[in-house]
Amino acid sequence: MPVIDGLTPSQQRLYDKLSDWLPHTLGELRGCLWDELSNDAALHMLISRTRTRIRRQGLDVISIRRNGTCYYQMERLINRGE
């Protein structure tokens, strides 16, 4: 995985967790927050801000809904210029 400069410690933990390219539930990603008592809104904000940082490297975080459960997974962006 490429090294991304400027990530906060929470963003780095999220990036490290998602860098296995597997889908993860919010419960699995909650450990990336600095405060285990934080709510889902804080986690969604962390995901949003991390997405902004990693897009520069051609990566993104997508959400997938399967059987009523939402999963988050890292994906590579397609370079349309090629």
- Locate 51 and state its tokens: 């997405």
Residue 46: inside a domain, yes or no? yes
> The domain containing residue 39 runs over which residues?
9-76
Q: How many CB atoms lie within 10 A of CB 42?
A: 15
Within the chain, what is the greatest distance between any pair of CA atoms?
Answer: 45
CA angle, 46 then 53 then 73, to 5°: 60
41-61 tens-digit pLDDT: 889 999 999 999 999 889 999
CATH of the domain at 45: 1.10.10
Residue 81: inside a domain, yes or no? no
Residue 14: inside a domain, yes or no? yes
Residue 63: inside a domain, yes or no? yes
**What pLDDT is attached to residue 60?**
94
Residue 1: inside a domain, yes or no? no
Reported pTM: 0.84
Residue 61: inside a domain, yes or no? yes
Residue 2: inside a domain, yes or no? no
User: What total of structural domains would you count in the chain?
Assistant: 1
**What pLDDT is attached to residue 77?**
87
Residue 54: inside a domain, yes or no? yes
